[in-house]
Structure 1
Amino acid sequence: MPHTYYDFFAGGGMAGFGLGPAWSCLFANDIDPKKAHSYRANHHGGAELVLQDVATLTCADIPGTADLVWASFPCQDLSLAGKGAGLAGKRSGMFKPFWQLVRDLNADGRGPKIVAVENVYGAITSNGGRDFATLAAAFSGLGYRFGAVVVDAVHFLPQSRPRFFIIGVRGDLRLPEGSIQDAPSSVWHPPALIEGQALLSSAARSRWLWWNLPVPAARNLALSDVIEEQPQGVIWHTAAETDYLLSLMTDLNRGKVDAAKQLGTRKVGTVYRRTRPDAAGVKRQRAEVRFDDVAGCLRTPSGGSSRQTIMVVEGDSVRSRLLSPREAVRLMGLPDTFILPERYNDAYKLAGDGVAVPVVRHLADAVFEPVLRRNRLALVA
């Protein structure tokens, strides 16, 4: 019998890829028609997907009873790159109607066994920690025992992508042995999270758990492994375009390129364009490169500066181009069988808004499935 889940703010359904075939989605929701198209293309038609604003849904729209509720609610107002509106913002404020549905499900006797909420790292510190306290109070107020972790996709994929996950287990359920620990872990609980937990209300702290996640094996996938020589959807820059990109670099970043040239081997790096103040305080566009075989965090294509560029150096040869759509979804852990949107921006947005597939699998292995197995055994006993 499969485990069951609801997928809110589902996007292309990456959480489902992470959960895998042992899980069955009873209900999914998103408001973006283009993402919904991708979800359906990659989830056997996606009959469970409802294209509708979460604020207009009611408990009656949601079928059955799910083991897990997954929600990757909008991050823009919580992001360090955002304007600081936090949970009061128009987009990240969608947490409120989502949580009302969770409350209604509990009141209807259909409270999910596990609720997992994903967002950007900035959710911990947004509004001086008050937004984190609001999330914690939501879980605590429904009687869930809960804790949070920060998992960087770089443990599994060649992409730097730290994300915040708050995971709650219904108060009447038993926790499996070894799933929690007495103190925070330096791998999963950064100082900002520890500080935020200390500032929670006494009621929330009384229900707090330090989740015990295993440290994964060393990653064996490098950025160079996912890069295509003949990509679809993008073309290599002209020499003049690459020279212009190099001209936007500071001496520090040009030095990285020069060092890569001296190696005489193929080095693959990534470049983001950012606005930085110069020595006089004047804001200028800069190109910043990294050659550590890890991509920068994928973002949505809100402007040219947010599109990641690939730079390949082989001796004196320097080539550049945009990251391809296929490379972007590979960096999220999706298989090459994943059906891509036709337009570049749609594919890049889908990837940038998604959750890394192997991170979801790690959480399922470490928390979701052990909790469900423990409580199924308890019912049998």
Structure 2
Amino acid sequence: MLDGDAEIVEKFSFCEFFAGGGMARAGLGNGWKCLFANDMDRIKISTYINNWNCNHFDKRNIKEVKTADLKGFCDLAWASFPCQDLSVAGNGLGIGASSSDEFTRSGALWPFLDLINTLRQEGRQPPLLVLENVVGLLTLEQGRDFTAICTRLGEIGYRYGAVIIDAKHFLPQSRPRVFIIAIQRDIDIPSELSHGMATASWHTPTLLRAYKSLPLQSHADWIWWDLGFTPTLEEDALTNIIQLEGVEWHPPEETNRIINMMAPTHLARLENAKSSETVAIGSLYFRMRREGGVNKQRAEITFSPVLGCLRTPRGGASRPRIIVVGNGQVRTRLLSVHEAAALMGLESTYILPEIYQHAFKVIGDGVAVPAVRFLADRLLEPLAMAARKKTAVHSEKVCTA
């Protein structure tokens, strides 16, 4: 928050669309009040309600939500719209056309933006929007989906920019996500929040290419958001999360089976880790690879202070696993629900479904909590304050006219 704004006592308000288990809400924190939340997945709905005990949750399809369901005015509308048709692990269908009656799952963004536009016509447009999704949004269909989103934001009265925030700056998990932050066109942006140029920390080459593919009008509406310095992850962050004792490991025969599934490159990585004097913790995945004209399932490993991106498991092979090498042992096992929650920055008090697959569905589709808090602190709260000051000045002029 900007200096001099400490006297603000009223909480910022927000509506959370495609809310999942409420991880954006967890990240925004106690300085924000949720007025409305929406999702239609039964597992995520129950998780959200169990954690937030709210009476403002709407379980309907976003296409059924009307402005009459949104009471009053909010500072921010957050939309972590579905990523299944945009991610590497998805089907690549994209978001579809805004004019189409048939949407892909990720295309649920369009009725959300239509809802925001109707609020604009009613004079209740949120001054801030955040659209969050996988980085594949920038490249799918040669960037046409990203262009369509930016064009639509401009049509409904917003300027906008995007940043890439990777959870690895806060947590030992590689989880890059694109955040499109839009602000009403007539709100003055504090000078320290944008310096008119890209920064290497928050604007990756992929994002720069996506920007260059935008039409000139979108360039005119574009803002290069500046989030300041990049946080540094603590060196022992991963070892503080992964349990080495008191957990159930695979039996030796299962670990040997996994090792026998490794290609020579990954066997070499394993041998290198075994020769080290320190304990190495790595990510372990099962993937299908084309070899000799046939598909072959391979076990692949990566040793790093940061684990690979957590995903929603859709089968036994896709469940997240770890491999630990040290003290003359090679051990493998499934990542626990408790560890996965910690890798997302969730508090130990956060309630997850008891069924393993259900818990990972909530986690894998979520947004890293510290990334949201960082974005709120560096950008959203100063912007919300600027929007409120504009409203206050306008109201004062009306009263004195």
How big is the shift at 1:281?
A: 3.4
Answer whether contact 1:263 1:315 (CA < 8 A) is retained: no
Deviation of 1:80 after TM superposition, in Å, equals 2.4
Matched, 1:22 2:48: no
Amino acid in structure 2 at the alignment position of 1:281:
G
**Identity across the alignment (%):** 43
CA contact (8 A) 1:231 1:324 kept: no
Map 1:1-381 onto structure 2 (within 5 A): 1-43=10-52, 45-88=53-96, 90-220=104-234, 221-229=236-244, 235-278=248-291, 280-379=292-391
Q: Deviations over 1:84-115 (max 9, x none)?
A: 21012521111111111111111111100100
d(CA) in 2 for partners of 1:266, 1:31: 43
> Larger deviation: 319-328 or 196-205?
196-205
Q: Distance in 2 between matches of 1:379 and 1:308?
A: 48
Deviations 1:205-258 (A, max 9, x none): 1110011011233111522211124678xx321111111111111111112222
Partner SS for 1:87: coil
CA 1:12/1:230 → structure 2, altered by over 3 Å: closer, same or farther? farther
Per mean C-alpha deviation after superposition, the further-off stretch among 86-95 and 11-20 is 86-95
Look up the equivalent residue of 2:240 and give its one-letter code: D
Deviation of the 1:375 alpha carbon: 3.5
Deviation of the 1:338 alpha carbon: 0.8
SS in 2 for 1:223: coil
SS of equivalent to 1:139: helix
Match of 1:217, as an amino acid? Answer: P
Asked if the contact 2:131/2:181 (under 8 Å) is kept, the reply is yes
Gaps in structure 1 of 5+ consecutive residues: none
Give per-residue Cα distances to partners, 1:132-173, cap 9 Å, x unaligned.
Answer: 001101111112110011111111110011111111001121
> Equivalents in 2 of 1:175, 1:377: separation in Å?
11
Distance 1:208 1:20 in 2: 28
C-alpha deviations, 1:308-360, integer Å up to 9, x for none?
A: 11111123211111111111111111111111211000111111000001111
Alignment gaps of 5+ in structure 2? 1-9, 97-102, 394-401
Q: How many residues align?
A: 377
**Cα RMSD after superposing both structures:** 1.5
Q: What is the CA distance between 1:307 and its match in structure 2?
A: 1.4
Distance 1:129 1:349 in 2: 28
Take 1:319 and 1:361, find their aligned partners in 2: how far apart are those partners? 35
User: 2:127–2:387: 8 Å Cα contact kept in structure 1?
Assistant: no
Distance 2:332 2:183 in 1: 47
Kindly state the Cα deviation for residue 49 of structure 1 after the two structures are TM-superposed: 1.2
Shift of 1:6: 0.4
Q: CA deviation at 1:200?
A: 1.4
Q: Encode CA deviations 1:29-85: one digit per residue, 9 max, x unaligned.
A: 000111111111111x12121111111111111122110010000011111232221
CA distance in 2, matches of 1:137, 1:317: 55
Offset at residue 379 of structure 1 (A): 4.9
SS of residue in 1 equivalent to 2:239:
helix
Q: Which residue identity is paired with 1:55?
A: K
Once residues 229 and 266 of structure 2 are traced to their aligned partners in structure 1, the CA distance between those partners, rounded to angstroms, is 33
TM-score, normalising length from structure 2?
A: 0.91
Secondary structure of 1:228 counterpart? coil
**Pair 183,281 (structure 1): closer, same or farther in 2 beyond 3 Å:** farther
**SS of alignment partner, residue 312 of structure 1:** strand
SS at match of 2:362: helix
CA contact (8 A) 2:201 2:230 kept: no
What is the DSSP-based 3-state SS (H/G/I as helix, E as strand, rest coil) of the residue aligned with 1:18? helix
Rounded Cα–Cα distance in structure 2 between residues aligned with 1:55 and 1:377? 33
Distance across 2 between alignment mates of 1:380 and 1:61: 26
Matched-pair contact (CA < 8 Å) for 2:187–2:390: no
- 1:111 aligned counterpart, secondary structure: coil
